[in-house]
Each structure stands twice: as C-alpha cells, then as structure tokens.
C-alpha cells in the first residue's frame, strides 16, 4: 500500500489533531527473559506501528516512553482509530520469537496542542499519556471527544464499550473512556488502572429508617463475616429497605462499592444473568458465556451484590449465585426473597413484620409508641 505519510511533517498537521500513544506491556521483564531476542523484536514492533501510521495518514513524532513507546499524530480521528486497529491486528498475528505474548497499550485523544521544535505539547497530549498509563496490553481506549468524532464514521465491524468516567492522576476533570471492540481481537480486560472509586448504584433513601435496629446490626455483622446472606420473609415486610440500609451501614467493608439488581421486572429465570450484566454495564460479545464474564467482572473486587426480589426467578438466581461464589474470592451477595435460595453456605435471616398493637388492644399513647410499626402510620 502506498505510504500516505511520505511528505508529512509536524508543521503540516495543524488545528484539532488526534494523538496516539503506545506502550509495549512488560518490556522490562521481556528484556530480562530474552535479552538476545529483544533487539530484533523491538525492531519488528516499531515497524508494525510505523507502517500502520504511514498507511493511515499518521506521523510518528518520536518515542514517548522507555524506548518502546510511540507517539503518532493524525489529522483525522478515524485515521487514528484505523491505525490503532491495524497495529493490534498485526501484533496479534505476528509469529514472535518468544513464548510470551507481545501486547501493546494504545490510547487516543483529540484536541489542540502546541508545536515546538518539531514536537507537540500541552494538556491534550498529557491526558493521552495518562490514558496510556491506565490501559492494558492489547487494549485500545479513547476519550469521549475522540469517540464523538469517530462514531459517525465508524468502520464496519467496530463497536465501542463504555468504560465509564475515571479520574486520571494529576488531571482535575474526570474522563469518560471508551474501549475499541474489533473483530478477532480480545475484548475482555481487567479494570482500568485508575484510582479506586466506589462502583455502585445503591438507591438514595429519602425517608428515615424506623425500627429493625436489632436486625440492622445483625445484617451488617453478617455482611462482614459471610459471603451469602438471604433476607427471607413475606411480601411487604420491608426486606428491600433493610437490605439497602444494611448495605449502606456496611459499605466501608467493600472498597470497590456495591450494586443492586432489581429482579422485579423479569419473569423468566433465564433472564437473571442478562439483567445483572446489563445493570453492571458488562458487554456481551459472544466470545465468553455470561457466567464467565460475570465472574471475571467480580474476580478482583471486594464488592457487595444485592439481588432483590428473587422468589419468582429462584432457579436462575441460584445458578448464578453458585457460579459467582465458586469463581470469586471477595464478592459478598445479599439477597431478598420470600423463600431461601438453597445454596450451600447461605446464611438465612427470617424477617418478621414490625410489631404493632392488636386492633382490639387498648393501650396508652406512650405504650403505643413502643411498637415499631406505629411511627410509620
């Protein structure tokens, strides 16, 4: 293919540009393990990146990293995306002379930058560098502004996974980050290496929590000592409210936050896993079964998962809970159900209705206020 980059110079690229920063994952360990092969390996690595850049109207400025990173500038965001995909595809197919996979992190960001002495500087480039530092080998991520430019001209077969907002080191404004999903390339990666933040969708309670202080203490304690707790009792008894209040009280025990999955709207037990993945924002790509993807999501997280209103889809809940408990080490599950789940290791707390006076009972106002249900009337 003709080299579109043959006449490009930094001064020829002006205005709003898209910047690409790459980095070879684990280069230090590669040098330690294969010192004789690394020179040729890096030369081929450089050639792949430079060829992809040239074929997509990009200009390689100079290395940015510890000798194995590349800094490439593009006039069009779509060209940068095509180059990133070409790099990852070529690296994945290359018959490398070492048993360890050669994987590169790629980050894309779009904006203006200052050209000085043949190089680009400024906040746009700095943000791109921060993005690269949180990425995993084989993964391509881009900022919201770059995503906005490429989604209308996205090549066929490309999709994007919304990774949510992340705080980047030394940068005040959080960044919404997207991952490129391309045919033939891995789509599953560990969480981005950003500072820990609470991942949760717990409902905000607008009313006071009345009664059940004894149960609240008990559930909070169980959440810190057991991995599966089920609040069981008749409908309308207050299981959901007790679950959310207990979760809020125990949240400091879960540094990775908590998620609540409301199962009320589904009728088929086979939909339990699907609604859980949708709530968590987990992408379905057909490569891994849903249970594997869920277990992977929770694998390295100390997190609380609330499954609310389980009784009508109990078989689906039971199967998913068993898989998650068997394949994660730190996940805690709190379920609400009219009947127990029946899973090994389950701690069942039966929730009774709040105490209230009998209709025919004559009690003083002071005595009546001692009943838990009275303040709710």
The pLDDT value given to residue 1: 37
Distance CA 123, CA 143 (A): 13
Q: Quick check: 367 pLDDT over 60? A: no
At 276, give phi and psi (nearest 5°): -65, -45
Q: Integer distance in angstroms from the first to the last C-alpha of the chain?
A: 78
Rounded mean pLDDT of 284-305? 81
Closest CA to 285 of 128, 129, 161, 123: 161
Rounded mean pLDDT of 121-141? 92
Closest CA to 102 of 90, 91, 89: 91
Q: Quick check: 5 pLDDT over 60? A: no
CA-to-CA dists, residue 349 to 153, 262, 281, angstroms: 54, 20, 30
Residue the block writes with tokens 């390689």: 60
pLDDT per residue as tens digits for the range 136-151: 999 999 999 999 999 8
Per cent of the chain over pLDDT 90 is 52
Under the banding of pLDDT at 50, 70 and 90, the label for residue 10 is low
Rounded mean pLDDT of 19-36? 89
Rounded mean pLDDT of 16-32? 90
Rounded mean pLDDT of 335-359? 85
pLDDT per residue as tens digits for the range 87-98: 999 999 999 998
Residue the block writes with tokens 């393990």: 33
**Better-predicted residue by pLDDT, 357 or 273:** 273
Helix (H), strand (E) at residue 290: helix 290-298
**Better-predicted residue by pLDDT, 285 or 78:** 78
CA-to-CA dists, residue 360 to 64, 147, 246, 353, 356, angstroms: 82, 67, 34, 18, 12
Count of other CB atoms within 10 angstroms of residue 347? 16
At 336, give phi and psi (nearest 5°): -120, 130
Sequence length of the chain is: 377
Bridging pattern class, strands 175-181 and 159-166: antiparallel
Q: Quick check: 206 pLDDT over 50? A: no
Distance CA 348, CA 278 (A): 27
Q: Quick check: 285 pLDDT over 80? A: no
Q: Quick check: 335 pLDDT over 80? A: yes
Under the banding of pLDDT at 50, 70 and 90, the label for residue 119 is confident
Structure tokens at 264: 């009320």
Distance CA 75, CA 19 (A): 9
At residue 341's C-alpha, the angle toward residues 338 and 342, to 5°, is: 130
The pLDDT value given to residue 343: 95
Q: Give the start-end residues of each E strand in 233-278.
A: 257-262
pLDDT mean across residues, the chain = 84
Rounded mean pLDDT of 185-210? 67
**Better-predicted residue by pLDDT, 348 or 28:** 348
Going from the N-terminus, what domains does the chain have, and what CATH number goes with each? 10-181 (3.30.70.1230), 199-350 (3.40.50.300)
Distance CA 66, CA 84 (A): 20
pLDDT per residue as tens digits for the range 32-45: 889 999 999 999 99
pLDDT per residue as tens digits for the range 64-109: 655 688 999 999 999 999 999 999 999 999 999 988 788 999 999 9
Under the banding of pLDDT at 50, 70 and 90, the label for residue 212 is confident
The pLDDT value given to residue 148: 92
The pLDDT value given to residue 153: 80
Distance CA 278, CA 65 (A): 37
Count of other CB atoms within 10 angstroms of residue 191? 17
Asked if 30 contacts 38 with a C-beta cutoff of 8 angstroms, the reply is yes
Under the banding of pLDDT at 50, 70 and 90, the label for residue 188 is confident
pTM beyond 0.85, yes or no? no
Distance CA 179, CA 189 (A): 10
Asked if 162 contacts 280 with a C-beta cutoff of 8 angstroms, the reply is no
Q: Quick check: 250 pLDDT over 60? A: yes
Structure tokens at 217: 């203490």
The pLDDT value given to residue 369: 47
Closest CA to 279 of 253, 306, 252: 306
Q: Quick check: 225 pLDDT over 50? A: yes
Q: Quick check: 230 pLDDT over 70? A: yes
Distance CA 201, CA 233 (A): 24
Rounded mean pLDDT of 121-135? 91
Under the banding of pLDDT at 50, 70 and 90, the label for residue 157 is confident
Distance CA 178, CA 363 (A): 63
The pLDDT value given to residue 370: 46
Rounded mean pLDDT of 44-54? 95
Structure tokens at 329: 């080490």
The pLDDT value given to residue 265: 93
């Amino acid at each position: 293919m003709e080299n579109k980059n043959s006449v490009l110079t930094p001064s020829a690229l002006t205005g709003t540009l898209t910047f690409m920063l790459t980095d070879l994952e684990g280069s230090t360990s590669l040098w330690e393990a294969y010192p004789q092969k690394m020179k040729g390996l890096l030369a081929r690595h450089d050639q792949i990146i430079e060829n992809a850049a040239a074929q997509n109207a990009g200009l390689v400025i100079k290395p940015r990293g510890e000798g194995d990173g590349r800094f490439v500038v593009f006039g069009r965001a779509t060209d940068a995306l095509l180059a990133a995909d070409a790099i990852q595809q070529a690296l994945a197919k290359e018959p490398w002379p070492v048993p360890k996979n050669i994987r590169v992190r790629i980050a894309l960001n779009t904006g203006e930058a200052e050209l000085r002495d043949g190089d680009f500087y400024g906040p746009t480039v700095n943000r791109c560098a921060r993005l690269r530092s949180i990425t995993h080998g084989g993964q391509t991520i881009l900022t919201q502004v770059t995503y906005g430019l490429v989604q209308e001209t996205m090549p066929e077969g490309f999709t994007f996974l919304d990774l949510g907002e992340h705080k980047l080191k030394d940068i005040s404004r959080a960044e919404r980050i997207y991952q490129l999903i391309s045919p033939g390339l891995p789509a599953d990666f560990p969480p981005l290496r950003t500072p820990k933040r609470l991942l949760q969708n717990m409902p905000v309670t607008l009313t006071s929590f009345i009664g059940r202080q004894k149960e609240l203490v008990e559930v909070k304690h169980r959440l810190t000592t057991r991995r599966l707790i089920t609040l069981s009792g008749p409908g309308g008894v207050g299981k959901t409210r007790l679950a959310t209040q207990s979760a809020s009280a125990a949240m400091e025990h879960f540094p990775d936050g908590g998620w609540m999955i409301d199962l009320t709207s589904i009728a088929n037990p086979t939909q339990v896993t699907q609604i859980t993945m949708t709530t968590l924002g987990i992408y379905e790509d057909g490569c891994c079964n849903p249970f594997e993807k869920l277990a992977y999501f929770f694998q390295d997280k100390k997190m609380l998962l609330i499954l609310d209103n389980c009784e009508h889809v109990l078989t689906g809940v039971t199967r998913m809970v068993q898989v998650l408990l068997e394949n994660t080490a730190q996940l805690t599950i709190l379920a609400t159900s009219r009947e127990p789940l029946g899973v090994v290791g389950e701690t069942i707390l039966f929730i009774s209705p709040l105490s209230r006076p009998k209709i025919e009972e004559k009690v003083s106002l002071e005595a009546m206020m001692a009943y838990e249900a009275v303040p709710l009337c």
